[in-house]
Structure formats: structure tokens, C-alpha cells
Amino acid sequence: MTIVSACITLFLVLDAPGNVPFFLSILKDVPPKRRRWVMIRELLIALGVLVAFLLGGRELLSVMQLRQEAISIGGGVVLFLIAIKMVFPPKDGGIFGAAGPGEPFIVPLAIPGVAGPSAMATLLLLTSAQPGREVEWGLALLVAWLATAVILLGSTWLFKLLGESVLAAMERVMGMLLIALAAQMILGGVEAYLKAG
């Protein structure tokens, strides 16, 4: 996988357009002056979690004695389930469920809103499948995160400009792309398992 394809994959997995209505609904009770700072804080927390998975992913696999094929298949299944919810969103409108009362902290905006299981699985897959390229994967992650941050920080303006229906359509298109990516991850894991067996 190239840096560009990793960057595109991570951007799709982070699902910025799909998170716009989610972020706005979670932050609706937060005072307007605090919203931007809360979003920046949550985005930075999400980046920290994803960098930790990027740097510690291979060690985590080693400690848990997981094979790369298992991560590929498991990551593909998780990605598939997230993508299905993007294409067919639940009736409550949120992919990750309702938030608790008060100002959100870490959950649900940072985790799993931005740093969700599919993003973590993708980073684990990248580092286990092609070790020694952590700097390149870090660059791809940073570019994808910056693009996500720009979209989410401009979410109020973007929501007014495009409207809920356009954002929903964009999320469904991204979900379809992620379904194809998830199928490829699962097939790649099964193929690698059959060759190893």
C-alpha cells in the first residue's frame, strides 16, 4: 500500500462528513464559545490514541499472539459493520449511540467518533502487514486527521452550506467504498491464512 492509498483509506475510515451531524448533535448543549475548544481537545485526544496504536500496534499483536491474518479478517469485519451503519444509519441518527449528559470528554467524540475501532484496526493492519514504514503511515495518518479536523471544525458552516441530505448522501457513498475495502481486507486475510496453512 502506498502513502496516498493509506491516507485515503484512513480518511474514509475516520468518516469526517458522517461525523458532522453526530458532532453537532452531541455539542448542541455546549455553549457556542466552548464548542470549538471541545472539538479541538477531542480531535487531539483521538490523534493521540491513533498514534499510540500506530507505534504500539506490532507489540500489541505480539503480546496477544495474534497473527496478521486474524487482524486482517477481524479488522475487515469491524470495518464492514461500521460501513453498513454508514449506508443504513440507525433510526436514532447516530452510528455510536447516544451521548451522556454534560460536556463530552473522550467518549463519544474522540473515541469512537474519530478514533473508532475501524481506524485502530486499519493502523494495526498497516503496521503488521508492512513493518518498518511507521513514519510513512504516521504521515498518512496526520494528513487524514488534518483533513478530518478541518471538516469537523467547520461542521456548523458545512452543515448550513450542504444540508443534512447532502452530508447523508456523502456518508453513504463513503460507506459503500468502505464495504468494498472491508471485503478486500477479509479476502486478503483468508487468502493469506490458506497460503500459510
Query: What CATH number should be reported for the domain holding residue 139?
Result: 1.20.1250
Model pLDDT for residues 34-54, shown as the tens digit of each residue: 999 999 999 999 999 999 989
Distance of CA 95 to the CA centre of its chain: 12
Distance CA 95, CA 82 (A): 8
Decide which of 55 and 197 is more confident: 55
pTM: 0.76
Nearest to 108 by CA among 94, 118, 120: 94
**Residue 105: what are its φ and ψ, rounded to 5°?**
-140, 115
Model pLDDT for residues 116-153, shown as the tens digit of each residue: 877 887 898 888 778 889 999 999 999 999 999 999 99
For residue 15, the enclosing domain spans: 3-97+105-196
Model pLDDT for residues 51-99, shown as the tens digit of each residue: 998 998 778 778 888 877 887 788 778 778 877 887 887 765 555 555 5
Helices (H), 1-67: 3-14, 16-26, 32-64
- Which pLDDT score, from 0 to 100, does residue 52 have? 93
Distance CA 159, CA 191 (A): 42
Q: In the chain, how many domains are there?
A: 1
